[in-house]
Structure 1
Amino acid sequence: MSHKIKETKCSICLDYMKEPVNVECGHNFCRVCITNYCEAGGKGDYEPLCCPNYSASALGATPLMGVGFLQLELEPRLHSHVKALPRQCFNVADVTLDPDTAHPRLVLSEDGKSVRWEDTRQHVPDNPKRFDSSRCVLGLEGFSSGRHYWEVEVEDGGAWAVGVARESVRRKGRVNVNPEEGIWAVGQCGTQYLALTSPKIPLSLGERPRTIGIYLDCEEGRVAFFDADNEAPIFTFPPASVPGEKILPLLCLGRGSQFRLFWAWLCTSLSPSV
């Protein structure tokens, strides 16, 4: 990094280059500095140029792009790169679904990355972890610290909800999908998209989200949702909404619904712009 900073400074005035030019020896200087230096014959208030290929003429100097131009040229690219960082994010966290929590009408894939609704109830053990009335399933691994991001692909179908739940969420009987029950989620009911608060908040989305990004910040107690295909914000539960206990990914399905969980990262310093 220090080498790169030196390259942007003029070795004559020792400041950042203004109207930078490249001379035949390959070094860069401010146009005014190198011109004045050459006109003074290498004397005066300037430090001597320590270059064996130094030529006392700047007439053949090649103009370089100025700092202002470079900023205008590179800033949009940098912005795009930073926006893409959540998808290139640090250490991978393998998020899969827990079959022991799945409602009997929900069928998980062998790898635990997708779930679909079935009209016929599956013959599965009725253990304490399993939802017996609400058509929900939880993630196998939970989060109690750090910042986490994953994406869920939503197939065409009926009602659904995606979000997170505290580990102690009630599993038996009808569970209301809202923060009072320990669930923070967004979903679809018919043609309407909703933030599943109390009361529910209708969401105005420009288009049907096919892939929903979920960002969980355990330190701030915040969970945010956005359309992962176009990075459009969907809804954010404010800081301190999520309690300081282990939090699990949550999916709820209605008749004909299907989900596929296919990305998950552990983030240490970034959050999406929602």
Structure 2
Amino acid sequence: MTGIAIRTLDALWVLWTCARMQVKAMKGNELGLVIGVVQPVVLILVTVGAHTDEAPEVLTGWTVGVLLTTLWASTVWIAGGILRGELRSGTLARSVTSLRPGFLVLLGKCLGATARALLVISCSVAVTLLMSRAPVTADRPGWMLLGLLASVCSGAALGMLLACILLLTRYGLQVSAALMYPVFILGGLLVPPDLLPGFLHWLPSLISLRWAREFLTNAAAGTVSWQALIWLVALTTVYFLLAVKAFARVIDHARREGTLELV
């Protein structure tokens, strides 16, 4: 086995182990239950449940929008707060000074948090749709699964980036709230981009989950939007590269200045 293969397997093992640890740590998390259960149920009832006479394609678009809107909220409040949680519990130093790259540990935890959140949200949405008997479509389930996996990766990359940003401020809750609601309105998830003011039409294009919505909605209707998938992957890659760079700068600053109590 070559050195590259060994390093790849080792990286995958780190990601898997950290993801499992994060999933276990989230059990019984009240915030996760509110975001993953209460919020999607309310949004589905307000959108889909109140308009079951609409065309299935329209209801499917709203359902996907609710799913990704709630995933964004989970990314901000849960994945984005992972480093702050480690700082409070005193485990941050071990995470960033281990033999494995610290960003790999963070990525694994963000993947675990995002995947678990999406699973809980999906179950909540599915149960609510069954109870409301809303006619939604799912013509290309394989492509939809691919879109969901890409959404998990995108949410994890965003979570990494937010974790680094929130670690630098004492006002994490306020910053989280300030980041969350503008995306609810301007992110192209629940509010169609063409309903936004003309000078804001470009803004949703910078949000990867907006392209995830387009891809999933089209896949549910029976078509594959390659443009949406390409934009989703490209923006996710950009988020990840920015997150790795931000993580390196945060840790370097912390080690030099001692501002994050790493020693």
Q: TM-score of the superposition, structure 1-length normalised?
A: 0.25
Greater share of strand: 1
Q: TM-score of the superposition, structure 2-length normalised?
A: 0.26
Specify the structure having the higher radius of gyration (Cα). 1
Greater share of helix: 2
